[in-house]
Amino acid sequence: MSEFDLVIIGGGPGGYVAAIRAAQLGMNVACVEMRGALGGTCLNVGCIPSKALLESSHHYEEAKTHFADHGIKAKIELDLKTMLARKDKVVLDLTKGIEGLFKKNKVTYVKGRGSIKSPTEVLVDGKEVLKTKRILIATGSEVMPLPGVTVDEKKIVSSTGALELSEVPNHLVVVGGGVIGLELGSVWRRLGAKVTVVEFLDRIGGPMDAEVAKQFQRTLEKQGIEFKLGTKVTAADAKGKGVSLTLEPAAGGAKETLAADVVLVSIGRKPYTEGLGLEAVGVKLDERKRVVVNSHYETEIKGIYAIGDVIHGPMLAHKAEEDGVAAVEGMAGQKPHVDYNLVPGVIYTWPEVASVGKSEEELKAAGVAYKAGKFPFMANSRGRAVGETDGFVKVVADAKTDRVLGVHIIGPDAGTLIHEACLVMEYGGSSEDLARTCHAHPTLNEAVKEAALAVLGRAVHI
Ligand code: FAD
Ligand code: NAI
């Protein structure tokens, strides 16, 4: 029987990063993972394979439609098999890399399904017992099912199936206009599919800044994606060659049908706690089935902790990583803190969409007086030089103190640009701090500086 300081259940970005940090802090750590590979949803069927396909499909579309603008002529042909194989290789290399990091840090990797027998005992596949001082639940999330629609991962797919379609569908219908639907919808549209997104709400992209969401939808429509907003899918018939979907207005009303070759169900994810034995040990779940933890990530049962998608907060890989680090540093007696308000969100379409902090709508609802400054990429010289002029940067700052409260970007490389905003907000900085920071010319980042100048009423290039 082995004895550990910490046993982590789940080897995703939350669990594996927590394991490495705990080992750095001198703990004897085991990480139990049941999928046969480390890296969790993110590396195996999430962030990484989707970003690999987004990159490949972006190159394909660029080569097909924009190279000619630069005076480059080429005959372009899609080799989907090679594109998918490249994605699989990227995933394999990265997951193997984590095994290497475990070895380097002397983390014990235990393959199997973990369950909690008691606060000091983890069972592996119901048999082997790992004795431990503490347990960290990092079991992540799974696809939210849609009533009336059965996922077969062939004609009706979740994000996992949508990452490995063996041919480009003629018509892909995406149910749910959130992050997964818009990213993977973009991939298959670029590769030649007609894409229709059916979204329950009257806007896409979830709770993002409303002005950004509007521009985002317009841009995606220009690219060819069709939207049916305020609409829900109530049934799917997959008996024939394709799938026949029954749609209904979200508010109720006349039904219609929509024919698809492939349907992607992407209406959200839910915490994964199946088979963990939480009830028996007394670990509580909230109304959304998330594990309830205190500010130190500890459940009501002493010695049992939880992080990442399985607890509250944004379901993002970097949030899970921050949780993991903070949880184990707390166990080691340090006083870490993760501010969920400063967790950036990025949608890796083209243009990208990125934001951190509060939107104008949230500030209005909270009665906070603010000033907003906006700068379009059309007026950014680097944007013009590279031919990426869609979108804008918006900086929102406290009307009295000028402290930056939120930054929202739609545009080229928005997911990279957002980090100077994260940093300034982490330090409680002002829009004047951003505006007075020397930015290299010509860069896309100058649009961030100009938006900060716009808050102060003195943008230079508009
Ligand atoms: P997970 O990554 O889900 O890892 C949990 C692990 O625990 C899994 O490997 C699972 O097999 C294992 N496990 C569960 N139960 C047990 C058990 N009983 N015993 C042993 N092992 C168990 N986030 C971003 O930040 N950026 C992105 O670009 C992004 N893209 C995404 C794209 C897609 C298609 C999807 C689906 C998600 C994406 N996400 C992205 C979200 C991101 O993947 C998750 O937020 C992140 O993986 C959560 O990390 P985690 O460690 O909490 O859980
Ligand atoms: P999501 O929550 O982003 O979007 C789901 C969408 O489906 C919402 O707009 C919702 O209104 C809609 N919806 C819900 N029920 C519906 C119904 N019955 N019919 C039609 N529409 C319906 O969830 P998604 O896209 O599945 O992603 C899951 C999680 O994965 C997200 O929380 C996200 O954080 C994470 N993720 C992050 C990525 C990134 O950081 N780039 C990429 C992909 C996923």
Nearby residues of 346 by Cβ (< 8 Å), 6 or more positions away: 352, 353, 354, 414, 415, 418
CA of 418 to the centre of ligand 1 (A): 23
Q: Does 441 qualify as catalytic in the annotation?
A: yes
Would you say the C-alpha torsion 208, 91, 4, 23 has a positive or negative sign? negative
How many residues are present in the chain?
462
Please choose from 180, 197, 272, 356 the residue to mutate so as to test ligand 2's pocket, defined by most ligand atoms within 8 A of CB: 180
Alpha-carbon span 371 to 373, nearest angstrom: 7
Per-residue pLDDT of the chain (462 residues; tens, 9 = 90+): 569 999 999 999 999 999 999 999 999 999 999 999 999 999 999 999 999 999 999 999 999 999 999 999 999 999 999 999 999 999 999 999 999 999 999 999 999 999 999 999 999 999 999 999 999 999 999 999 999 899 999 999 999 999 999 999 999 999 999 999 999 999 999 999 999 999 999 999 988 999 999 999 999 999 999 999 999 999 999 998 999 999 999 999 999 999 999 999 999 999 999 999 999 999 999 999 999 999 999 999 999 999 999 999 999 999 999 999 999 999 999 999 999 999 999 999 999 999 999 999 999 999 999 999 999 999 999 999 999 999 999 999 999 999 999 999 999 999 999 999 999 999 999 999 999 999 999 999 999 999 999 999 999 999
**β partners of residue 111:** 33
Alpha-carbon span 189 to 48, nearest angstrom: 19
Superfamily of domain 2-142+270-338: FAD/NAD(P)-binding domain (3.50.50.60)
Strand 114-118, strand 121-124: pairing: antiparallel
Q: Residue 138 in contact with residue 264, Cβ under 8 Å?
A: no
Q: What angle do CA 27, 45, 407 make, to 5 degrees?
A: 80
Domain 156-267 coded CATH 3.50.50.60: yes
The full set of domain ranges for the chain reads 2-142+270-338, 156-267, 342-455
Distance of CA 199 to the CA centre of its chain: 18
Q: Tell me the ligand closest to 297's alpha carbon.
A: 1
DSSP one-letter code for 111: E
Q: Residue 201 in contact with residue 253, Cβ under 8 Å?
A: no
Give residue ranges with CB within 6 A of ligand 2.
146, 175-181, 183, 198-201, 206, 232-233, 266-269, 314-316, 346-348
Q: Residue 371 in contact with residue 418, Cβ under 8 Å?
A: no
Q: Tell me the ligand closest to 43's alpha carbon.
A: 1
178 lines ligand 1 (CB under 6 A): no
Counting other chains too, the contacts that 115-121 makes at CB distance below 8 Å and 24 or more residues apart are 115/9, 115/275, 115/276, 115/277, 116/9, 116/276, 116/277, 116/278, 116/280, 116/281, 116/283, 116/304, 117/277, 117/281, 118/281, 119/281, 119/301, 119/302, 119/303, 119/304, 120/303
Whether cis (ω within 30° of 0) applies to the bond prior to 442 is yes
Structurally, what CATH architecture does the domain formed by 342-455 represent? 2-Layer Sandwich (3.30)
Residue nearest to atom 43 of ligand 2 (CA): 180
Domains 156-267 and 342-455 alike in fold: no
CA of 12 to the centre of ligand 1 (A): 5
Q: Which is catalytic among the residues 59, 66, 441, 461?
A: 441
CA of 271 to the centre of ligand 1 (A): 10
Please choose from 16, 21, 41 the residue to mutate so as to test ligand 1's pocket, defined by most ligand atoms within 8 A of CB: 41
